[in-house]
Structure 1
Amino acid sequence: MPSDPALLAFVAAVFVLAGIVKGVVGLGLPTLSMGLLTLAVAPAQAATLLLAPSFVTNLWQMMTGPHLRPLLRRLWPLLGGACLGTLLGSGSLATGSRMAVAGLGAVLVLYAAVALRAPRLRVPRAAEIWLGPLIGIATGLVTGATGVFVVPAVPYLQALGLSKDELVQALGLSFTVSTMALGAGLGLHGGFASPMVMASLVALLPAMLGMQIGQRIRERMEPRIFRLWFLASLVVLGGWLALSAL
């Protein structure tokens, strides 16, 4: 547990900011926090600090709203595939290539740039039963290599034609399942050994405060503006991943 007041204040500010972004667009807390925290602490310490805030904020996001049961019935093929892919790929996280992270960032930027200028993609409802598991497994393998569970699950979820609030809740559901699967996979490889675990629990407070602020901002957004924010956030997160890997 760090005792430096300046460091504690910096960590709290990072999680408030990342929580606001997550509250508005439904994603970004781990990626944004990781990038900022590594300015002050070692990457391993930053990753440990993220454990509790990432899991609890995703769980909170998943539980906020009336759409959880319908989403579970609709998304179980994606979620099952994500669990399988993550467990299969989690062994590569410790030896993951920085080029894989850079490539993931580039894909995010490319997808968002195309989506900003092109009509929305649509996945036919009948295709979800077979496409969902494939997208889930691919997302899980990417998670196993990079620790980031965004591609291709987020573009897939956006292509389902969900409403603003349904999309945010679906992201929370997907990220919660992926976080649990990644935790199980890392546990199999002895990935939980750090004195920063208690600090991760303390970091929950600023993260949840920021997320609550972000949710209130989102409630006042028009769907068109939300979509622009959502895609712009993918550009920023993708650019951040690509640059951090150089």
Structure 2
Amino acid sequence: MDTFSLPGGLGPLFFALACAITLLAGFVKGTTGFAMPMIMVSGLASFLSPEMALAGLMLPTLVTNAMQALRDGLRAAIGAVRDYPRYFAVAGVCLVLSGQLVTAVDPRAIYAMIGVPITFFGVAQLLGWQVSIRPEAQRRAEALLGTVSGVIGGVSGVWGPPLVIYLTAIGTPKAEQVRVQGVAFALGAVLLVATHLQTGVLNARTIPFSALLLAPALAGMWLGQRVQDRLDQATFRKATLFVLVLAGLNLLRRAFT
């Protein structure tokens, strides 16, 4: 299905579909601050190889995350790293290490292990079960969820849900949550691009394909941010949890199909 003249070997119909998926992913990311890799990799992998789908999301993810991280300025972005140092350090190391295994390991077991708790957490929160992380437990939670983010991110390109769980559980305000997610995902995207330039997932065939998906990604991001600016904290939290549940269900779908 993925053979012809456009970058990435796609025909016009499938390339238009790839752009539509990317536009939707950008809109959801602009609204909630995450989920672009989840939407892109699951949508693109329905008609592309897993490696091509992973490569396609690389540049859109990198650019949109950088925009999100720097929306409040460089100083605020640097402050986000200082506020969550364990998460950034642990997730970065685990992402690079697990990225070396992307072509050798069946990721379905990892999808199942992370998909179950993510789905459970999101559904429970939407039904009114309030989960919070006590201040004395935040260091351990940061390290644990940083490990999970890095491992699954290196294998699948989806590393956002564990961080979203953590930020939601400690009651992070909307603006700070979106900024921290942007910084974390931008740094992760840089590491992911560097890792897969080395593994060969990003190459002369896949880089142009990923670059062409930048335009719909940016358009969707712009539209989503207009929506986000109109959401209050409670509505933003519900929207985030809803997308988190979809992320968990998607991981489970990928684990068992």
Q: Same fold (TM over 0.5)?
A: yes
Q: Is the 8 A contact 2:197 2:203 kept in 1?
A: no
Structure 2: 5+ residue runs without aligned partners?
1-6
Distance 2:134 2:185 in 1: 20
Give the SS at the match of 2:185: helix
Contact 1:58–1:172 under 8 Å retained in 2: yes
2:218 maps to which of 208, 211, 215 = 208
One-letter amino acid matched to 2:84: L
Relative to structure 1, the CA distance from residue 144 to residue 6 in structure 2 (aligned partners, 3 Å threshold; closer, same or farther) is closer
TM-score (norm. length: structure 1):
0.89
Q: Which of 86, 100, 108 is matched with 2:95 structurally?
A: 86
Give how far 1:129 is off.
5.0
The residue aligned with 1:122 is: 133
Match of 1:47 in 2: 54
Deviation at residue 76 of structure 1 after TM alignment: 2.1
Paired residue for 1:6, among 6, 9, 13? Answer: 13
- Amino acid aligned to 1:119: Q
1:183: Cα distance to partner?
3.1
The 1-side partners of 2:142 and 2:112 are apart by: 25
Q: CA deviation at 1:128?
A: 4.5
- Taking the aligned partners of 2:53 and 2:10, their CA distance within structure 1 comes to 15
- Residue 204 of structure 1 deviates from its aligned partner by 0.3
8 Å contact from structure 2 (residues 114, 248) kept in 1: yes
Is the Cα–Cα contact under 8 Å of residues 135 and 156 in structure 1 kept in the other structure? yes
**CA–CA separation in structure 2 for the residues paired with 1:120 and 1:68:** 27
The change in CA–CA distance for 1:48 and 1:144 in structure 2 (over 3 A counts) is closer
| Equivalent-residue separation in structure 1 for 2:108 and 2:151 (angstroms) | 15
Residue 52 of structure 1 aligns to which amino acid in structure 2? L
Other-structure match for 1:77: 86
Q: Secondary structure, in 3 states, of the residue corresponding to 1:144? A: helix
8 Å Cα contact 2:161-2:247 kept in structure 1: no
Q: Counterpart in 1 of 2:248?
A: 238
**Within the alignment, does 1:22 sit opposite 2:22 as a pair?**
no
Residues 86 and 216 of structure 1, relative CA distance in 2, 3 Å threshold = same
**1:102 alignment counterpart:** 112
Give how far 1:131 is off.
Answer: 4.6
C-alpha contact (below 8 Å) 2:145/2:166 kept by paired residues: yes
Aligned-pair CA distance for 1:134:
4.0
Partner of 1:165: 175
- Counterpart of 2:252, as a letter, is A
Shift of 1:187: 4.1
Q: What amino acid sits opposite 1:82 in the alignment?
A: A
1:199 aligns with 2:199: no
Closer/same/farther in 2, CA of residues 90 and 5 from structure 1, 3 Å limit:
closer
| Deviation, structure 1 residue 49 | 1.2
Identity %: 27
Q: Answer yes or no: is 1:229 the counterpart of 2:239.
A: yes
- How far did residue 151 of structure 1 move? 4.5
Residues in 2 aligned to 1:130 and 1:11: alpha-carbon distance in whole angstroms: 39
- Matched with 1:34 is 41
Structure 1 residue matching 2:84: 3-state secondary structure: helix
Report how far residue 197 of structure 1 moved: 1.2
Q: Which amino acid aligns with 2:66?
A: L
Matched to 1:8, the amino acid is F
3-state secondary structure, aligned to 1:92: coil
Question: 1:136 aligned to 2:146?
Answer: yes
Secondary structure at 2:100's aligned position in 1?
helix
What code does the residue aligned with 1:230 have? T
C-alpha change, 1:8 and 1:144, in structure 2 (3 Å) is: closer
Q: Kindly tell me: are residues 4 and 93 of structure 1, through their superposed partners in 2, closer, same or farther at Cα, counting changes over 3 Å?
A: closer
1:43 maps to a residue whose letter is P
Counterpart residue number, 1:181 = 191
2:4 is matched with none
